[in-house]
Amino acid sequence: MFVPLQLRELTVPNRVVVSPMCMYSAMNGEVNDFHLVHYGARASGGAGLIFTEMTDVSADARITPGCAGMYDAKHVAAWKRIVDYVHTNTGAKFALQLAHAGRKGSTRKPWSEDPSDKRDYSDQPLENGNWGLIAPSPLAWSETNTTPREMTRADMDRVGSDFVRATLMGEQASFDMLELHCGHGYLLSSFLTPISNQRTDEYGGSIENRLRFPIEVFEAMRAAWPKHKPMSVRISATDWHDDGLTAEDSIAIAEAFAQAGADLIDVSAGQTTPLAKPVYGRMFQTPLADRIRNEARVRTMAVGNIFEPDHVNSILAAGRADLCALARPHLMDANWSLRAAAELGYGKIAPPKQYRTGYAQMQRTLARKDS
Ligand SMILES: Cc1cc2nc3c(=O)[nH]c(=O)nc-3n(C[C@H](O)[C@H](O)[C@H](O)COP(=O)(O)O)c2cc1C
């Protein structure tokens, strides 16, 4: 897991990735001190690549009012402060995940501001101030969510130019890599899966048609993003539902993005319909990354319940993925990679100079345990 990976001119120093995770803590799309500490700590923790949370290309592209944005000059400056911190103080590379929430937008943060209220409000519409939603077809996420408007060609043009503007802003903010979020039922994902795309024009029906708008957006971004910097695409490779994507669809999707210039497919799954029946377990989505890597012949990132160093090493050594992303394990342990290196007795990883003595002590303690 400590072998570097080359993507265009970017050298990712090792194969452990902090997966994108919404923090719902931005104000009017602007990231702040919380995000500086959050990303700064995880970048110091030894992972080779860290992803931003889903960062939205316009105010009405957000999931919740706490979501991060990239649509205002203030957002560029706020992100650049964090990117500069990461580059100055750590060896990690930093990727920006750009998205539009589509029919899953205009919802509450998962938590209540009242500390005694522990209920999960994810996917619940706002109590007031809901904004209009757009989607490939006028199908609400659930009975309680706002029904979206079917997108017109003019809507597609506006959304496409919002993605390009955010791409240019991502370059101004000095990100190393860019990811287009086409998974989890958000706007572009909802074009790909037949569950949410019931259009009868050239943007619906066959997988070629369902790919048309997401590929258009990707190509416009790729043209705006510097050639030497890599791009990835996150997909939901299955809907965990019989009426959803087929295995062949997911290969066709990966091949189409690779053809359009994607350097890596970030293989997630599900969250495209509330009726999904996922089959959970250790490394449960890795077979999807494996199939796409070995059938579509593209680089993949595996994600989903990968939490032990042995999981990462076995996935990589067996050729099932090129990178492994860990989300929740990094919420509990920002230093997951440093700890793994100490446990495995790997000497070449460099902890931040300020933390060297702590790292050395952990190595000695673990060595004593072994002997
Ligand atoms: C708090 C939280 C927020 C998340 N937000 C995002 C997100 O912004 N974008 C995304 O693509 N996935 C998001 N995910 C999904 C994770 O990136 C990851 O795919 C998922 O949690 C499975 O990995 P894990 O088992 O290591 O947690 C989120 C997950 C969590 C736990």
Decide if 339 is inside a domain: no
The answer to whether the beta carbons of residues 45 and 265 sit under 8 Å apart is no
> At 150, is the pLDDT very low, low, confident or very high (cuts 50, 70, 90)?
very high
Separation of 184 CA from ligand 1 center, angstroms? 10
What percent of the chain is predicted at pLDDT more than 70? Answer: 99
Count up the domains in the chain and report the number: 1
pTM of the model: 0.98
Question: How many Å lie between the centroid of ligand 1 and the Cα of residue 20?
Answer: 6
DSSP single-letter state for residue 141: S
Q: Which two tokens stand for residue 137?
A: 């077809």
Confidence at 18, pLDDT banded by 50, 70, 90: very high
One-letter amino acid at 350 equals A
Asked, for residue 251, whether it belongs to a domain, the answer is yes
Whose C-alpha lies nearest to ligand 1, atom 23? Answer: 304
Distance 19 CA to ligand 1 centre (A): 6
Q: What is the pLDDT of residue 20?
A: 98
| 138 confidence band (pLDDT: 50, 70, 90) | very high
Which of 34-38, 60-64, 107-111, 358-362 has the lowest average pLDDT?
Answer: 358-362
Task: Report the CATH number that the domain containing residue 99 is assigned in CATH.
Answer: 3.20.20.70
pLDDT band at 313 (very low <50, low <70, confident <90, very high): very high
Which residues have C-beta atoms less than 6 Å from ligand 1? 19-22, 53-54, 97, 181, 183-184, 234, 268, 303-306, 326-329
Q: How many residues are given for the chain?
A: 371
State the Cα–Cα distance between residues 322 and 67, nearest whole angstrom: 29
Which ligand 1 atom is the nearest neighbour of the CA of 268?
19
Q: How far is the CA of 93 from the centre of ligand 1 (A)?
A: 19
Is position 360 within any domain? Answer: no
> Which candidate, 310, 314, 313, 286, places its Cα nearest to that of 300?
286
DSSP-H helix ranges across 45-137: 73-89
Residue 358 in domain: no
Separation of 21 CA from ligand 1 center, angstroms? 5
Mean pLDDT of the chain: 96
Q: Say what the pLDDT of residue 363 is.
A: 86
Per residue in 157-212, pLDDT (tens digit) is 999 999 999 999 999 999 999 999 999 999 999 999 999 999 999 999 999 999 99
Contact in structure between 254 and 296 (CB atoms under 8 Å):
yes
The active-site residue, picked from 39, 71, 186, 203, is: 186
pLDDT for the residue 347 = 77
Other beta carbons within 10 Å of 189: 27
23 pLDDT higher than 90: yes
Q: Is a pLDDT exceeding 70 seen at residue 34?
A: yes
Q: What is residue 365's predicted lDDT score, i.e. its pLDDT?
A: 87
Is 347 part of a structural domain of the chain?
no
- Position 250 scores a pLDDT of 97
Q: Whose CA is nearest to atom 30 of ligand 1?
A: 21
Closest ligand 1 atom to the C-alpha of 307? 26
Distance 234 CA to ligand 1 centre (A): 11
Confidence band for 331, pLDDT divided at 50, 70 and 90: very high
pLDDT, one tens digit per residue, over 249-299 is 999 999 999 999 999 999 999 999 999 999 999 999 999 999 999 999 999
Residue 280 a catalytic site member = no
pLDDT at position 157, please? 98
Q: How confident is the model at residue 364 (pLDDT cuts 50, 70, 90)?
A: confident
pLDDT for position 371: 58
pLDDT for 345 beyond 90: no
| Secondary structure of 89-108 in HEC code, one letter for each residue | HCCCEEEEEEECCHHHCCEC
Range of the domain at 309: 5-334
Assess if residue 240 is contained within a domain.
yes
**Which pLDDT band holds residue 349 (cuts at 50, 70, 90)?**
confident
Name which residue sits closest to atom 10 of ligand 1, judged by CA.
Answer: 20
Contact 134, 151 (CB under 8 A): yes
The residue whose CA is least distant from atom 18 of ligand 1 is 327
Most ligand 1 atoms within 8 A of CB, residue of 16, 18, 21 to mutate: 21
What is the per-residue pLDDT for 348? 82
Q: What is the pLDDT of residues 79-128, one digit of tens each?
A: 999 999 999 999 999 999 999 999 999 999 999 989 999 999 999 999 99
Which atom of ligand 1 is the closest one to the Cα of 184? 11
Q: Compute the distance from residue 18 Cα to the ligand 1 centre, in Å.
A: 9
Question: Predicted confidence band at 370 (pLDDT cuts at 50, 70, 90)?
Answer: low
Q: Cα(87)–Cα(78) distance, rounded to whole angstroms?
A: 15
Ligand 1 atom having least distance to the Cα of 19 = 17
Alpha-carbon distance of 129 to 34, in angstroms, equals 25
> Residue type for 31, please?
V
Q: Are 43 and 86 in contact (CB under 8 A)?
A: yes
For ligand 1, atom 12, the nearest C-alpha belongs to: 20
Pocket test for ligand 1, best of 16, 17, 19, 301 (most atoms within 8 A of CB): 19
Best mutation site among 16, 18, 22 for ligand 1 pocket (most ligand atoms within 8 Å of CB): 22
Q: What is the pLDDT of residues 204-250, one digit of tens each?
A: 999 999 999 999 999 999 999 999 999 999 999 999 999 999 999 99
User: Averaged over 335-346, what is the pLDDT?
Assistant: 93
Cα 69 to Cα 56, 123, 218, distances in angstroms:
5, 19, 18
**Residue 235: beta bridge partners?**
182, 267
In this model, does residue 134 exceed pLDDT 70?
yes
Q: Whose CA is nearest to atom 2 of ligand 1?
A: 21
